[in-house]
Structure 1
Amino acid sequence: MDKSWIPSGCDPETAFRIEVKIEGFFMKQIDGRKDYVKGKTLKWVVDSDRFSLCDLRSDLFDDLCWGSCQTPKIWMFDKNDGREVEVVSESQIPEMFRMFQNERKISLLTVICDLDGSSKCSGTNFTYPCTPSQPSPTIALGSQSHIGSSQGCNMSGQPDQSDNLDEYVGFNEESLYSSDIEGDLAHEGANHAIDGVHIDPEEDNVDEEPTVEAEAIEDNVHEEPAVDDVVQCEPIIGFDPKKGRIDVNALFPDVNAFRKTLRHFAIKNEFEVHTLKSDKKRFIGRCKHPDCPWRIRASILQDNKTFMVKLLPAEHTCPSTTMVDGKMASKSWVSDRVGDWLRKHPSAGAKEVKNKLEDEFHVKVTYRKAWLGRQGAIDQIHGKWEESFQLLYNFKAELEKRCPGSIVEVDCKSDGNKMFFSKIFVALKPCIDGFVQGCRPYLGVDSTHLTGKWKGQLAAAAGIDGHNWLFPVAYAVFDTETTENWTWFMSQLRNAIGTLPGLAISSDACKGLAAAIATVFPDSEHRECMRHLMENFKKRYRGDVFTTHMWPAAKAYTIEKCQHHLSEIASVSPEAIAYLEKNHKQLWCRSKFSELSKCEYVNNNISESFNSWIKDLKDLHIVDLVDQIRQRLMVTFDKRRIVGAKLQGMSAK
């Protein structure tokens, strides 16, 4: 186990890492004022033999500022019970260290609660919010045995624009709630029938003696002669990739196989081949080094197909040309070398391909050649780009057959007598039902650029479930962001989820999206992402007054407080307010949000989370892209089903 995180002076046998996530809260002053304190994550290294609950509360107070009428409540995950429990006694601390002895890392959640009973977490009936701690990188701390890595409290009341702790959207966090969730999935998969065939283990009894009828049948069955599958005229490939040799009289199926083998042989042995003569019937070459005696001659046999090495007078012994940018490492060679590797690492880019080949074969490969070779390997794995568009109808038919109720719409456009792909929309039945029946009526809508050969847009609509985890609802692919394409996408989305009461849709400044939402969902609440609004706003207006008052105005819960901050901006720059009223007509102030959606997010973190979730798929062929997202959704829902079955407690009705 890596122990670089253990500071000097701390016993490695008793050192533990503790990460305490603190939810954002409002600190109540004695005079009744409330100051917002943004959430943070504290990271400590502690000595388990000397650490106590009293130390934990004391260190929290040193790093936080809360009012005299408030108190912290600390929560941890109990492995024994499989649920979250509140840390209230000293006896829980030693047990906590014993439970996480193997990980040597403990994640805690702290919520600042009111003592007057007005807070949602006051009293003994508090239900732990099911938002897990956000994972953070391990850092090496200082020489003390107990050190916090956070800064002091933010007493300005101005939440930082990069602070998303109070608008958390989780994804890929199922393993935080089940230490062996992959094992659970494998165990359940082994218990399922294969291809609909039920296998009874009792029927497979190897010790059961054969019946009389079976013996009679066996007596009448004549033993079949052995079949030799080896075709005598089939050429034997003489190149062994492990040994990296080409021998005299070695045979190859055709001239292309010989050329590929020779190229790999040269790269493996770190030299370049200079071609003297090459056509469909013969090949003559030598080492490019002028003093090297290595030569090779090969020609076609009488079958006009098989190639044979006929002359190889000397072993290659000249100085190596390691890491010289030569012609041997072609894009076809790159494709052949990384094809199997890309099947296991589909998200690897051209840079990873380049590094892999240079490390393994000691040959310099340009980035362009690595990129072209990678594309060729992907074409070999998934087929041509043109074919992938034609397979979309097969995808549609199979998905609608296997998952009835799912919506898959493929739209084409004509150019003369030819039809071309235009766009595709996908909404799985579980995603539709899960959102309508189990999620708040709140959607984040956005699109991201595709990075493959076809430079289109991947659009998506996603919500958050009761666990504050990302819940994708629908996704689509089209060529560009236009009002027509967004209207088509939103129309398909309406067909899937209907017109929900209190629906709120959050988006950034996508071209044509605002008009599409107004047309298709005229009764919905359209919110604009505050982060994107500020990026555009700062291009025109800069100064302390804007950074001090814009974010508090957006995050204020009351209209009076929001108007106070906007008035401060108007007193300095009235044209800034006029700009906001003219160019940002959607809702971006929390005080103006409807309460029906039960979601107060001012940033479109949902869409950003979805884009991060699928970023390694954006260069795939179109049919593989939509199918890989489908597969990822199925795996995610299966993991969450396992997590949900292990959770205990009361759910909201």
Structure 2
Amino acid sequence: MANDELVKPENPHSSFRQDHFTGIRHNFELFPTHDYNSAFEQLLDINLQIGAAPYEENEVWNQFQEHKATALEDSMIHHNDDSVTEATGARQKQEIDDNLDLAPSSSQCWSIPGMDVGKEFQDAKACRKSLREAAISQRFEMQTIKSDKTRFTAKCMSQGCPWRIHCAKLPKAPTFTIRTIHGTHTCRGVPHLGHQQATVQWVADTVAEKVKENPHFKPKQILEEIHKTHGIALSYKQAWRGKERLMGRLRGSFEEEYRLLPQYCEEIMRANPGSLAVVHANPKDERFQQVFVSFKASVTGFLTACRPLIALDKAVLKSKYPGTLLVASGFDGDGGALPLAYAVVNEDNGTNWYQFLAELRKSLEMNCESVRKQLTIISTMEKAVVDGVESNFPRAFHGLCVLHLAERFSKEFHSSALESLLWEAAHSPTVLEFNSKLNSIQQISPEAFLWIQNISPSLWASSCFEGTRFGQLTANVVAESLERWVEDVSGLPIIQTMECFHRRLMDMFKERREASLHWSSDVLVPSAESRMLAAIAKSRCHRVYRANEAEFEVMDSEGNVVVDVEKRSCLCGRWEVYGLPCSHAVGALLSCGEDVYEYAESCFTMESYRRTYADSIEPVSDNVEWREKVLKIEGGGDGIRTPKVTGGARKGRRRIRPVDNGDRVKRLVHCSRCQQTGHFRTTCIAPM
């Protein structure tokens, strides 16, 4: 039997077992030469009784062979002294020679465990894979001599090592078997930290389970895992290529998924009637530009039960073919973002924003003849976005995201106090309060005041905005959602990316629909209910005087305000801004016996919230027949082509290295293991 390990760990029971070997050698005459197996079985029993590990069975056999050979030699000398016949002595000497051939003559001679003549493999691939695994585990490098459909022959790469193996295919079967193994290894194994058989495919197979569990398993982590498990030091490029090959096997072809985008869009619309899914390509070269998806369930819920408020946002997608995710979201009555449409585009430019907003307008018009209320759109107001909104939603109010404004302001002036005043100014419900906050900014920093004056307050301040923002100054709810979306799709092909977004929307509709069934409030959503209860509690401290049927004068600690219940307005401005009665309005309504809940905007009611998520978003069929259709678009093309990858390597002249005496100077490499020059870590042969 062969050794399982080249370097055996120290065995605490070795001295105990050695005593048994010594006893057997001195009393070898008790064991007939034809009963060696019985002696070996007895030693195995001893091995188990003293609690040795299973792998030491091979060690027992090797030591037994050595002691048996010594015992036979001693036995022959003893019998010669007793005048044993020459024939018997010759026979025993031959037996000694045979047994000495079986036992390793030195610690440098070893064979591969589990690789014996007659061992069978499922096919040629399995045969090569098993031999590769054996070479890596036993730390020797193997050179392939012949490899085809019927034969596989390899030898040890170490100079002077006689080991050689030959495998062949069985007749009329794909099975391969080991035919011959010539010699045993006499080399000391691989003298460096690399390995010839540690190929990119081996890396992919080795970390397959890790990457399946965690698709974000990084190449650096792969290097650490392989070094810890197999003691092999690979290059970063090998680890990266190994993961790329594995991910390609798991997720499919990027190029094929771009080609299948038109069929995918058709399948989306077939499974969700009334939805809009379309792909745009460059008409000149048919390269991908944009894929847009908008589900009817989202648009219908938005139009019938949500505030007429849309936020636009974007996020960068990292993949083999990088792109940008564009999202348009509404807001439900409880303040949650409701994605109305999303698109993956090849790059963030004016053309793609225009197409995205044009498709969004088309989707809204498909589900409603005309948008009944005037829309308010919030964005970062980049030029591409502004132009797209003006072209497709000319009557909409376009506001600036205050979070984006505050980030720019903070980078410019680096003051938390100034940034806090900016937010207070944006939230101020009246022009008087707004001007008061700006004056505070001017007193602290005149430069900051001049900077903020260059941006029109009608774009970002609640008190100056012409439309209705319902207190929603930012698109941060959308941004937080996008972060989770982008994490899930990093590195995925285009259709799998779109399907991740699709499944997120399906889960969102189901979770919010089920959660609303367990809410305790029967009239308003939880966030609106808490604000209403706070206004009712605060109104108890107000004094109310009725001027006429509609107007009231309300006095509080800060002064007097006028409330008009017919116009649903208050001089404090909070009723108009937030869509819920303020404490002054609540006091006026309660004084005349009115139900304050009836004066809340309809979008804050439980009925509207449940209508928002009443419809379901249906999944794309698991049937892959739509993938197998042969796509032929007009002009005889083969379908959508992959986008051009922009922002790659820098263009320019190639730098010429300096020369010395007509020869180009070579870069001096350095080993990080032994700190010497002239070689890398993977080829270092310095002692460990």
Spell out the pairing of 1:439-588 with structure 2 (5 A cutoff).
439-498=306-365, 499=371, 501-508=373-380, 510=382, 512-543=384-415, 546-547=418-419, 549-570=421-442, 576-582=448-454, 587-588=459-460
Q: How far apart, CA to CA, are the structure 2 residues paired with 1:580 and 1:455?
A: 35
2:242 is equivalent to residue 373 of structure 1: yes
**2: distance between equivalents of 1:461 and 1:319?**
65
Counterpart of 1:622 (choices 481, 494, 501) is 494
- Does residue 266 (structure 1) correspond to residue 135 (structure 2)? The answer is yes
Per-residue displacement from partner, 1:259-301 (whole Å, max 9, x unpaired)?
A: 444333334x252424263554765545567797754344677
Q: 2:511 maps to what in 1? A: 639
Q: CA 1:496 to 1:298, structure 2 compared with 1: closer, same or farther past 3 Å? A: same
Q: Tell me if 1:600 matches 2:472.
A: yes
What is the CA–CA distance in structure 2 between the aligned matches of 1:509 and 1:364, rounded to whole Å?
Answer: 50
Q: Aligned with 1:248: secondary structure?
A: coil
Taking structure 2 as the reference length, what is the TM-score of the superposition?
0.52
Once the two structures are superposed, the pairs formed by residues 402-417 of structure 1 within 5 Å of their partners are 402-415=271-284
Cα–Cα, structure 1 residues 474 and 306, in superposed 2: closer, same or farther, change >3 Å? same
Which letter does structure 2 place at the counterpart of 1:331?
A: V
Report SS of the residue matched to 2:292: strand
8 Å CA contact 1:286–1:295 kept in 2: the answer is yes
On the 8 A contact 1:411/1:422 being kept in 2, the answer is yes
Contact 2:425 2:461 in 1 (8 A): yes
Higher percent of residues as helix: 2
- Distance (whole Å) between structure 2 residues aligned to residue 473 and residue 244 of structure 1: 62
User: Which is worse superposed, 321-330 or 624-633?
Assistant: 321-330
Over 3 Å counting, the alpha-carbon distance change for 1:627 and 1:547 in structure 2 is closer
CA RMSD of aligned residues (A): 3.8
| Letter paired with 1:406 | S
Q: Residues 265, 618 of structure 1: CA spacing in aligned structure 2 closer, same or farther, 3 A cutoff?
A: same
1:419-458 alignment to 2 at 5 Å?
Answer: 419-458=286-325
Q: CA deviation at 1:619?
A: 1.6
Contact 1:299 1:307 (8 Å CA) reproduced: yes
CA, structure 1 residues 567+333, in 2 after alignment: closer, same or farther (shift >3 Å)?
same
Change (3 A) 1:364 1:472: farther
**Any conservation in 2 of the 1:424–1:478 contact (CA below 8 Å)?**
yes
Are residues 542 and 385 of structure 1, via their aligned partners in 2, closer, same or farther at CA, if it must alter by over 3 Å?
A: same
Alignment partner of 2:436: what SS? helix
Contact 1:442 1:597 in 2 (8 A): yes
Deviation at 1:304, TM superposition (A): 12
Shift of 1:384: 1.2
For residues 291 and 470 of structure 1, do their structure 2 counterparts lie closer, same or farther at Cα, with a shift above 3 Å needed? Answer: farther
1:135-534 superposed matches below 5 A: 245-250=114-119, 257-267=126-136, 269=137, 271-275=139-143, 277=145, 280=148, 284-286=153-155, 295-298=164-167, 308-313=177-182, 324-339=193-208, 342-346=211-215, 348-350=217-219, 353-354=222-223, 357=226, 361=230, 363-415=232-284, 418-498=285-365, 499=371, 501-508=373-380, 510=382, 512-534=384-406
Q: Aligned equivalents of 1:472 and 1:538: distance in 2?
A: 29
In structure 2, what residue type is equivalent to 1:412? A
Q: TM-score, normalised by structure 1?
A: 0.54
Inter-partner Cα distance in structure 2 for 1:313 and 1:263? 18
What CA distance in whole angstroms lies between the structure 2 residues aligned with 1:244 and 1:489? 63
2:319 partner amino acid: G
Instruction: Give distance in 2, aligned partners of 1:436 and 1:319.
Output: 76
What per-residue deviation string (whole Å, max 9, x for no partner) do you get for residues 428-481 of structure 1? Answer: 121222222232222322211111101111111223322333322211011111
Judge conservation of contact 1:464–1:606 (CA < 8 Å) in 2. no
Task: Tell me the equivalent position of 1:590.
Answer: 462
Matched residue type, 1:438:
A
Which structure's residues are more often strand, by fraction? 1
Task: Specify whether residues 643 and 552 from structure 1 end up closer, same or farther in structure 2 by C-alpha distance, changes over 3 A only.
Answer: closer
- CA distance 1:246–1:557, change in 2 (3 Å): farther
- Inter-CA distance 355–556: structure 2 relative to 1 (3 Å threshold): farther
Separation (CA, whole Å) in 1 of partners of 2:305 and 2:178: 69
What's the secondary structure of 1:647's corresponding residue?
coil
User: Which stretch of the first structure deviates more once superposed, 401-410 or 337-346?
Assistant: 337-346
Q: Deviations over 1:317-372 (max 9, x none)?
A: 98787994444333222333444654554455545555555555554454433332
Distance in 2, Cα, partners of 1:389 & 1:300: 41
Spell out, residue by residue over 1:55-85, the C-alpha distance to the aligned partner (whole angstroms, 9 max, x if none).
xxxxxxxxxxxxxxxxxxxxxxxxxxxxxxx
User: Equivalents in 1 of 2:296, 2:272: separation in Å?
Assistant: 7
Match for 1:385: what amino acid? Answer: F
Q: What is the CA–CA distance in structure 2 between the aligned matches of 1:439 and 1:412, rounded to whole Å?
A: 33
Indicate if the aligned counterparts of 2:257 and 2:493 stay in contact, CA closer than 8 A. yes
Cα distance in structure 2, aligned partners of 1:489 and 1:585: 28
**Residues 491 and 574 of structure 1, relative CA distance in 2, 3 Å threshold:** farther
Residues 354 and 370, structure 1, Cα contact 8 Å, conserved in 2: yes
8 A contact 2:460–2:473 mirrored in 1: no
What secondary structure does 1:540 align onto? helix
Q: Please tell me whether the aligned partners of residues 294 and 316 of structure 1 are also in contact (alpha carbons under 8 angstroms).
A: yes
- Structure 1 range deviating more: 401-410 or 376-385: 376-385
Change (3 A) 1:467 1:539: closer
In structure 1, the gaps of 5 or more residues are 1-242
Residue 397 of structure 2 aligns to which amino acid in structure 1? E
> How far apart are 1:633 and its partner, in Å?
1.6
Letter in structure 1 aligned against 2:245: G
TM-superposed CA distance for 1:421, in Å, is 1.6
Deviations 1:22-76 (A, max 9, x none): xxxxxxxxxxxxxxxxxxxxxxxxxxxxxxxxxxxxxxxxxxxxxxxxxxxxxxx
Measure how far apart 1:642 and its partner are.
2.4
Counterpart residue type for residue 377 of structure 2: I
Contact 1:447 1:459 in 2 (8 A): yes
CA positional deviation for 1:589: 2.3
Give the Cα separation in 2 of the matches to 1:646 and 1:266.
Answer: 61
Within 2, Cα distance between the matches of 1:396 and 1:244? 55
After superposition, what is the alpha-carbon deviation per residue over 1:68-108, rounded to whole angstroms, capped at 9, x for unaligned? xxxxxxxxxxxxxxxxxxxxxxxxxxxxxxxxxxxxxxxxx
**Which whole-Å deviations, capped at 9, do the CAs of 1:151-203 have from their partners, x for residues lacking one?**
xxxxxxxxxxxxxxxxxxxxxxxxxxxxxxxxxxxxxxxxxxxxxxxxxxxxx
